[in-house]
Amino acid sequence: MAVAKPSIPLGDLESFTVHLKSSTRILALLGAGLSASSGLPTFRGAGGLWRCHDAISLATPEAFQDDPTLVWQFYSYRRHMALQAKPNKAHFALAELARKRKDFITLSQNVDGLSQRAGHPSSQLQLIHGSLFDVRCTSFYCKYSSQNDFSDPIVPALAIPKGGFQPELAPDEKTGEQGAASLYAAMEKPSASTEPVKELDISDVNVPIPDVSVSDLPHCPKCKEGLLRPGVVWFGEMLPKEALSAIQDFTNKPEKIDLILVIGTSAKVYPAAGYVDIARAKGAKVAVVNMDRADTPGGKNGLAKGDWFFEGDAGEIVPEILKSVIGEL
């Protein structure tokens, strides 16, 4: 059965294709909408809870200092969920465009590792918010860091617990201790069933999670003492200098920028928002791919004459609009 192609106005597709074919210097801004096409959950904005915790409250240096076990359990869960997702066709399309256009650079706000797993050339991919799959040592005197560590779990103690057991609680059970104890006991017993044991949803506050000591958390293989931390940019931290410098070098070149692709993001938060203005000032046309027409740089009236808005699923639209350069995926 033939797969239905995304509904893209023919006139928009034709005019974009003409411009894309003549474009050499291209910038792309990627946001969470791209990952949503892979079915990846996010923890952004109001109501973004993990267990009973505001996800934002776990994304700070202070949270890691106060309770590194809880923060690592949260990020280990996010790593696991990201690895369950697969790069979608848009990730592969952008990776292929990078191989076809050496003067194409991508600025991603996503930390999920999907672009890297799609084979996007690392020299043309800048991760402004870091990556779940990078780690670095927290010891002041140690400079150890590692990139693209896709091991799951990163250490055995952070493995997602498994079991299909639901504890039966006594009528007077108030503390949850009985349920937790019975669940842990069930998890430790081998199952006689031939059915695969399901992973427990530890994002649910009603599902107990194992106690993990700090000594069992990821530690630095170089200095042997410092705790490793996730290589994401936490609230209150500076954005990575290397990524910002690479983008600045690209935008500061005297040559014009032909095109900026804004995919799965409103690009309303700085510094990402500023790159749309910079690219436009350097002559770029703007092409937005998003599910919500109001979610564009500058709002509904943020696009100029000759720009494009492609409404719909980025995973379907991006490979279609890039097909004239990258071919069929």
Residue numbers annotated as active site: 129
| DSSP 8-state assignment for residue 289 | E
d(CA 302, CA 305): 10
- Phi and psi angles of residue 38, each rounded to the nearest 5 degrees, phi first: -95, 5
Helices (H), 136-295: 177-188, 241-252, 272-281
How far is residue 260's CA from residue 311's CA, in Å, rounded to a whole number?
Answer: 16
Cα–Cα distance, 122 to 70 (Å, whole number): 31
DSSP H helical ranges for the chain: 10-21, 32-36, 61-66, 68-84, 89-100, 114-117, 177-188, 241-252, 272-281, 314-321, 323-326
Report DSSP state, residue 191: P
With tokens 């106690």, the residue in question is 211
Cα–Cα distance measured from residue 264 to residue 38, given in angstroms and rounded to the nearest whole number: 12
